C-alpha cells in the first residue's frame, strides 16, 4: 500500500477536517497520523495528514478528486508520496561537523534524502564527499565574483533538480535575489540561540556576556540576515570556567542535531510557514527509523 501525506493551509472555519476525512475515506484511504492547528491570532488553519491508499488510488487521482473540496475552503494544499526522497544540495565552508553528521544520517537512512551535490567555497571536504559518490563543486566566492558564483550555484541546483538547499555552516551571505528565488527552500544552521547574538562570532559574543546557556537555531533563509522563520532550536549549559573555544566545541553537537531535526521536519512536510513564524507538527510514528544501524 502506498503512503501519502496531505498538507493543507486555509482560513479556519467549520467543516474542514470533516471534508478531508470524508474525501480520504470515500477514496479508499486510511488515515494513520494527523495533526492540526488553529492560529487564533490570524485565523489561519494548518493540517498535515498521513494516510495509506488501501484500494490502490494513486496520487494523481487523489489530486484531481480533491480539487472541489479544496476550492470550497480556498485551501492551499499538496499531496506528497512519502516514498519519494527530497533532492538536496548541501553547502559548506570550513566547519565540517554538520556536513559529516548529515552524511552519516543519510548513509544509514535516518535522514531519507537524496544528496545530489555538495557545494563549497573551499576544497577541504572534497575527498570525504567524493568518497560518498556525491558530486562535489568548489566555487570560490569573492566580492568581485559573487554574482557569477551564485549563478554557478543556482545552475547546479537547477540542473540537479534540487528542491532544498542546506547551509551546513556555509559562511557566505546569500544575495537577496537568491533568497527570494529559493524562498522556503533554504535551511540554515546558526551557531547561536537566535534572536540573541546575531552575525559573526556569536560564541564570542555569548562568552563576553557570561551566558549560562548556549544554543543553535535552524531557520529558513530570507533576505534579512538571521531573521528567517525558525524551525528548530536547542541549548547546552556552560559555566564561567569554560573558554570561547569550549563554547565552540560544545556547540558543534547542538548545531548538528538541530540542523538534522530541521531538515527531517522539512522533508516530511511538517513545517508550515506562518508569517514570520512556523508551525512545526510532531513526527509521524516510524519516521525516525533507520534502514540500518551503522
Q: Tell me the catalytic residues.
A: 226
Residue with cell 531538515: 263
Q: Which residues, in sequence order, are CB contacts of 133 under 8 Å at separation 6+?
A: none
**Do residues 186 and 174 touch, judged by C-beta distance below 8 A?**
yes
How many residues comprise the chain?
294
Q: Cα angle at 121 between 154 and 118, to 5 degrees?
A: 60
Gap between the Cα atoms of 208 and 212, Å rounded: 11
User: Distance of CA 239 to CAs 210, 212, 253, Å?
Assistant: 8, 6, 17
Residues in a beta bridge with 10: 45
Q: Which residues, in sequence order, are CB contacts of 162 under 8 Å at separation 6+?
A: 87, 88, 89, 116, 117, 156
Give the three-state DSSP class for 37. Answer: strand
**Do residues 33 and 49 touch, judged by C-beta distance below 8 A?**
yes
Strands (E), the chain: 2-11, 29-39, 44-53, 76-81, 86-92, 113-120, 136-138, 164-167, 186-190, 213-220, 230-237, 271-274, 277-280
Gap between the Cα atoms of 171 and 156, Å rounded: 19
CB count within 10 Å of CB 258 equals: 25
Amino acid at each position: 500500500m502506498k503512503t501519502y501525506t496531505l498538507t493543507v493551509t486555509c482560513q479556519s472555519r467549520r467543516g474542514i477536517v470533516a471534508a478531508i476525512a470524508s474525501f480520504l475515506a470515500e477514496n479508499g484511504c486510511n488515515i494513520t497520523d494527523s495533526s492540526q492547528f488553529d492560529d487564533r491570532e490570524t485565523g489561519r488553519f494548518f493540517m498535515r495528514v498521513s494516510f495509506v491508499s488501501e484500494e490502490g488510488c494513486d496520487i494523481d487521482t487523489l489530486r484531481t478528486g480533491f480539487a472541489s473540496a479544496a476550492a470550497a475552503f480556498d485551501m492551499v494544499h499538496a499531496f506528497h508520496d512519502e516514498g519519494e526522497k527530497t533532492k538536496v544540495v548541501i553547502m559548506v565552508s570550513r566547519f565540517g561537523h554538520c556536513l559529516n553528521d548529515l552524511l552519516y544520517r543519510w548513509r544509514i537512512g535516518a535522514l531519507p534524502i537524496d544528496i545530489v551535490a555538495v557545494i563549497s567555497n573551499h576544497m577541504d571536504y572534497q575527498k570525504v564527499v567524493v568518497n560518498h559518490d556525491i558530486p562535489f563543486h568548489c566555487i570560490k566566492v569573492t566580492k568581485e565574483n559573487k554574482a557569477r558564483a551564485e549563478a554557478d550555484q543556482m545552475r547546479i541546483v537547477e540542473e540537479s533538480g534540487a528542491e532544498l538547499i542546506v547551509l551546513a555552516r556555509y559562511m557566505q551571505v546569500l544575495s537577496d535575489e537568491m533568497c527570494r528565488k529559493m524562498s522556503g527552500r533554504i535551511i540554515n544552521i546558526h551557531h547561536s540561540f537566535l534572536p540573541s547574538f546575531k552575525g559573526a562570532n556569536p560564541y564570542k559574543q555569548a562568552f563576553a556576556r557570561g551566558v549560562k546557556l548556549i544554543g543553535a537555531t535552524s531557520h529558513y533563509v530570507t533576505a534579512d540576515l538571521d531573521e528567517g522563520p525558525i524551525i528548530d532550536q536547542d541549548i547546552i549549559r556552560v559555566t564561567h570556567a569554560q573558554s570561547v573555544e569550549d563554547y565552540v566545541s560544545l556547540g558543534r553537537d547542538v548545531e548538528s542535531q538541530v540542523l538534522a531535526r530541521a531538515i527531517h521536519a522539512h522533508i516530511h512536510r511538517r513545517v508550515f510557514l506562518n508569517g514570520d513564524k512556523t508551525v512545526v507538527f510532531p513526527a509521524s510514528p516510524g519516521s525516525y527509523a533507520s534502514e540500518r544501524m551503522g
